[in-house]
Amino acid sequence: MISCITISACAAAENVPVTVIPGVSSPTTTIAALETAHPTKSIPTPTNSITADTTPTPTQSVLQEAPVQLIPIQGEISLPDAEVSGMTWYGDLLLILPQYPENYPSAGGSPSLFAVAKADILDHIDGSATAPLETIRIPINNTQFTGQIPGYEGFEAIAVDGDQVFLSIEANDLGTMRGYLIQGSILEGTSAIDLNHESLVEIPTPVQIFNAAYETLLARDGQALALYEANGRNLNPAPQSLKYDPNHGAFTATDFDHIEYRITDATDIDSEGHFWVLNIFLPIEFWFYTRSDPITEMYGLGDTHQSNNHVERLLEFKYNDGEISPSGKPPLYLELVDDTRSKNWEAIVRLDEHGFLAMTDTYPGTMLAFIPFPGDGQSKE
């Protein structure tokens, strides 16, 4: 979801505020350094354009970019109003989460998400199919709890571990951004997703930034890992990843790197502990802008990114015993085919050994794309 208003910067306070909602658990928080922020100063409204020197220095490489192959998709999921928030695999079905599942009722009237068969996607990638992809709807049961969340603004992320599913929810409670986590199970035959409304818990929010919450979830060993959207040095003084253990009802925090711009989704964690995140910047969201991006300074920029202010790239991380750290690989920049329009990539999955699938939110419209894995070397120098 994209909005453009003047927001406030953040200053630290000691306690994480938790809204008491009937039937909503207050987690046992084992987070020592997690803080919440209250506005203290306004970020100035920028001029019509953001100007910065984005040309790599002589010591930096010009990185090879990944081509973006669009895959046509039909039905309501293809419309900008779908506001795609996340994707994940369940077997050979690609589950696509709209921000407001209640806007897409199933045949039985329940809110739903969308699903596409992997085989149909692969047929498009190899060129054996050209007709727009068709989707089916998977009902989501027991969503009445959303009416009890003050300022409910829809679902933001989805992760699956076996038949267990985790979903994050965003809310703007009279100007205070909040995040929530709920669990559920996928029924036999993928006939529906049953949410457990008693599992709803508020996720501690580290800082208060307009329209920012938890857009990235991962699942591992029956537990959920949540990444906050904003981790830039000037916005979030102490970034952390949160691991939630449903058996103990507790969040455990570990340090996370300062990553500029937004983190909007992640692939599943692979057998070696690696996963990739979407890392994007849209100039309309000027409060995420920075003149100092350590990743650019270390690795350089992609070809089409050198003359553009928006950023569309993937970053690889490694998960090990509850801790998340950069893998050491260079970023994978996406080729900006239409470099006059930035794209709000909000969902990503890995596609076997082929590469990635990614989807955009409302802006500039709903797009499904295939992104191949990089070659042996990404640098052109």
Q: Which residue, chain included where needed, has tokens 């897409």?
A: 104
The pLDDT of residue 24: 58
User: Which strand ranges, in their side-by-side order, compose the sheet holding 223-227?
Assistant: 28-29, 250-255, 240-245, 223-227, 216-220
User: What is this structure's pTM?
Assistant: 0.85
| DSSP string computed for 218-251 | EEETTEEEEE-SEE-TTT-SS-EEEEEETTTTEE
Using the 8-state DSSP alphabet, how is residue 148 labeled? G
Cβ atoms of residues 320 and 273 within 8 Å: yes
Report the greatest alpha carbon distance in the chain. 61
Answer for the pair 93, 118: CB distance below 8 angstroms, yes or no.
yes
* Domains of the chain listed by start with CATH number: 54-372 (2.120.10)
- Angle (nearest 5°) at CA 26 between 20 and 28: 155
End-to-end CA distance of the chain: 37
Contact 249, 235 (CB under 8 A): no
CA dist 354 → 26, 187, 202, 349 (Å): 42, 29, 37, 11
- What is the predicted pLDDT for the residue at 340? 66
Query: What are the residue ranges in the chain where pLDDT is below 50?
Result: 2-20, 22-23, 28-56, 58-59, 376-381
The whole-number pLDDT of residue 364 equals: 77
Torsion of CA 165, 141, 173, 8, to 10 degrees: 40
Which residues does residue 217 pair with via DSSP β-bridges, in sequence order? Answer: 226
d(CA 345, CA 326): 21
